[in-house]
Every structure is written in structure tokens, then in C-alpha cells.
Amino acid sequence: MLEETLQPQADQDQETKTWDAAVVGAGYVGLPLAHTLAAAGRSVLLIEVSADLVAALNRGESHITDIPSAELAPLVHEGRIRATTEYNELRNADAILVALPTPLSKQREPDLSILIDAVEQIGARLRTGHLVILESTTYPRTTREVVLPILERTGLKAGRDFHLAFSPERVDPGNETWTTKNVPKVVGGITPACTERAAQLYDGAVDAVHRVSTPEAAELTKLLENIFRSVNIALVNELAQLCERMNIDVWEVIEAAATKPFGFMSFQPGPGLGGHCIPIDPFYLTWKAREYDFYTEFIELAGKVNENMPYYCRSLISQALNHGRQRSLSGSKVLVLGVAYKSDIGDTRESPALKLIELLRAAGAELAYHDPFVPALADHGLESVELDPGAYDCVVIVTAHSQIDYADLVDKAHVVVDLRNATGADGRRNDKVWTL
């Protein structure tokens, strides 16, 4: 009985509590952002559609490796972070930061449906004094052409009644050196006052804030960063294919070029692009550019080269089996080592390993995978198996997790195809090892 009377009171307290910020979307971007703000003394409400995730977060349990539960739990227990599925609670927050997915449709066009639905929800609760910041990656003019009209339908005006800005999230999951806190925050508001208000929110929570004159400049900054990576990765992927024909070690060339102290930045070839950003974001700009009769040819070309890499890797595996094992791909036992999109994390979104698995299976390979961070690939009906390299005709290193003993792996395997230079110079000199 006591519990019954206390509980509604507690709920009422929660509903009337005010928050410095609400972060909409508690994923790879939203949770680290909430954590950074809360660690700097702000109170943060997480609005998240998944009820299970909300319950876990309110128990202090984190699902994002970069924010260990041991760091999250004290902030939750002190009441500085709380999660809810209830959009109505936005009314009690001073600032609303949107960190929601911005995927591509099947036709590879921007799909802003999740974002638009959420902005409608925010608009329905917008009040004078609110600050709204979009953090999701998107094409230039989204803040002005998509978000602003929905929010101004309320009769409130940006820059006068509420503030609106874009500030791209630049987090790199798994990167222990560069975090949400110490990567400078780029901020561009609809008006100078909007920029200032947004910058004030981050001030003190992140190490540096860089102001730009418009949301468009901030939106394009993020895309430039990701396009830069996509184009440079495509360049070395193309070079790797030429090097194979010319019998030149591409890794040795890249290592040598990287000794130049200026004017060169090292990128590495690989089985294709992965993750939520680099395979997707450049096409947001390609799509928008068409509205201006402009074709972003560098982006398209990079996409073409990078998307071909899993196919190229399949033929490399086939050659390795022919020469190293006198077997065809069809009927061979192949172990894919590492299915996350990059080392030492468990995120498989857009991972090139998934494409390679499909291609190898379609070619008739008997396929298994091992990944210490990914226990199962439900969509592919696969579970991670023990690492027993000798039990396979070929082991393909697709993602180089640092906890694997690669020298031991090469020792025990019949044939290794190393798509990440995980076996290093020793591997490249070993007849059993085939590299990109």
C-alpha cells in the first residue's frame, strides 16, 4: 500500500522535474552526448523509442561500449540522466538535441522519415525559450527546409521565440583518444543568436566549440569529413588492385609514403566501407546536389570503387583456394574472421563482412564466422564459432580485432586471406597468406 501511494508521487516528481537538455535517440551518438553533458554537471533526459532500452538505461546499464555502465550508473543514480519513452516530458527541458538515424532508402536516397516524425513530436511540445539542435548527419539545408517549417507551424519564430541550430556529431565509436568531449563541436544556427545559444549549451561540456555562420555550413562540414574518407579509401582500394596486377606490395608502399612528415595522410585498403556513416552520408550530398543540376562525380566514383571491393575480395579468396589448396570456392570450408564493421567493436551496420558472407555463400562456400564481439548474425542464421583455423580450407580476415593472435592463426590455418594487413609484414612474406 505504501508503495502504491509513493509510486505516483515519484512519477509526478519526474514529470515536473526540469532538465537542462533532452537528447532524442539514445544510440551511438545520443548516449555519449548525454553522458558528456551530464558529466559536465547538466541534467539530461533521454527520449528513446525502445522501452527495453529505457528500462536498461534507468538501471544504469549501458549498451554502448564507449560509455561503460560503471560511468553511466552514478549519473543515473544521482538523477543527472534519466531515460523515458514519453515525448511529453520534452516540455520540461530547456534544450532538445536530436540524435536520430538518417538512413538511405532502398533506392539510396535520404530517408528522413524518423527525423520528421520526431520533429513533429517536438513541434507539438515547442514553447517559448526552447533551444532545438539537430545532431543527425544530413544534407545541407535540412535544418532550414525540413526542421524549421515544422517547428514554425506552431506560430513561434526561430531566433525570436525559440532557437534552432545544427551541430554535427563527430563521434568515432571505439576511439578511446577522441571522444564526444574532446572533439571540437561545430555549431551553426538559423540566426547568430541561435548559434550563440547552442554554443553556450556545449561550452564547458566539450573542450572547444567552433561557430560557423549558417546551419548549411555545419551540415556540409560533417559531409565533407566523411566524403574525404570515402574518396581516399577508394583511392587506395583502386591502388591495391593495380598493385596486385603489378606484383607490388601496396601495404609497403603506404607505409613508406606515410613516412613523409607533411602533405600525405595514410588510408588503408580493405574489403569495403562499413558503419552508419561513410557508406551512407556522401549520398545525402549527391542527392541534394541534383536539385542544383550538379553531379558529385568524386563521390559517385568513390562509391563505385568501394562497393566493388567485396566482389574483388571474393575473387581473391577464390584464387587463394585454387593455388593454396587446389580447391574451388564451391564446397570449400571458409571461416570469416571478424564481422563487425571495424576492429574492437560489435557494430555490424553496413559491415562489408555481411556482403562478403552473402557472396561466398552464393558461390557455394560452406561458411562460418568467428567474432568475439558479435555472438550471432541473426539475419544470416549464423552464430560465432570457436576459432579453430585448421578446421577450414581458408580463413578470411575481414575485421582485425586486436585480441586475436594472428601469428598463431597463420601457423594453424591452411590458407589465410588477410584483407586488413592484420598479419603484417611477416604475413605478407608467408606463402600461406594472401593479402589485398
Ligand X SMILES: NC(=O)c1ccc[n+]([C@@H]2O[C@H](COP(=O)([O-])OP(=O)(O)OC[C@H]3O[C@@H](n4cnc5c(N)ncnc54)[C@H](O)[C@@H]3O)[C@@H](O)[C@H]2O)c1
Residues that bind ligand X (CB under 6 A): 24-30, 47-50, 53, 99-102, 114, 117-118, 136-137, 169-171, 173, 276-277
User: Minimum CB separation from ligand X for residue 289, in Å?
Assistant: 18
Q: Among candidates 219, 28, 31, which has minimal Cα distance to 139?
A: 219
Helix/strand/coil for 335: strand
User: Minimum CB separation from ligand X for residue 41, in Å?
Assistant: 23
Cell of 24: 532524442
Q: Which CB, 92 or 430, lies closer to ligand X?
A: 92
Burial class of 49 by CB neighbour count within 10 A (0 to 12, 13 to 18, 19+): middle
Please list, in sequence order, all residues whose beta carbon lies within 8 angstroms of the beta carbon of residue 124, skipping any fewer than 6 positions away. Answer: 87
Q: What is the DSSP letter of 372?
A: T
Q: Which CB, 28 or 162, lies closer to ligand X?
A: 28
Q: Which CB, 47 or 75, lies closer to ligand X?
A: 47
Give CA–CA dist 186/214, Å, rounded: 11
User: Minimum CB separation from ligand X for residue 218, in Å?
Assistant: 13
Q: Which CB, 104 or 359, lies closer to ligand X?
A: 104
Q: Which CB, 87 or 238, lies closer to ligand X?
A: 87
Looking at beta carbons, which residue is closest to ligand X?
27
Which residue of the set 194, 277, 313, 394 is catalytic?
A: 277
Helix/strand/coil for 325: helix
Pair 372, 400: CB distance under 8 Å: no
User: Minimum CB separation from ligand X for residue 362, in Å?
Assistant: 28
Give CA–CA dist 144/152, Å, rounded: 11
User: Minimum CB separation from ligand X for residue 327, in Å?
Assistant: 39
Q: Which CB, 32 or 338, lies closer to ligand X?
A: 32
**Helix (H), strand (E), coil (C) string for 50-118:** CHHHHHHHHCCCCCCCCCCHHHHHHHHHCCCEEEECCHHHHHHEEEEEECCCCCECCCCCECCHHHHHH
User: Minimum CB separation from ligand X for residue 87, in Å?
Assistant: 8
Give CA–CA dist 5/197, Å, rounded: 41
| Residue 376 Cα distances to 309, 373, 380, angstroms | 24, 9, 9
Q: Which CB, 143 or 423, lies closer to ligand X?
A: 143
E-state strands within 228-352: 333-337
Query: For the chain, how many residues are written?
Result: 436
User: Minimum CB separation from ligand X for residue 295, in Å?
Assistant: 23
Give CA–CA dist 313/311, Å, rounded: 5
Pairing of strands 185-189, 163-166: antiparallel
Q: Is 194 a catalytic residue?
A: no
Instruction: Please give the backbone phi and psi of residue 62, each rounded to the nearest 5 degrees, phi first.
Output: -95, 145
Residues tagged active-site: 277
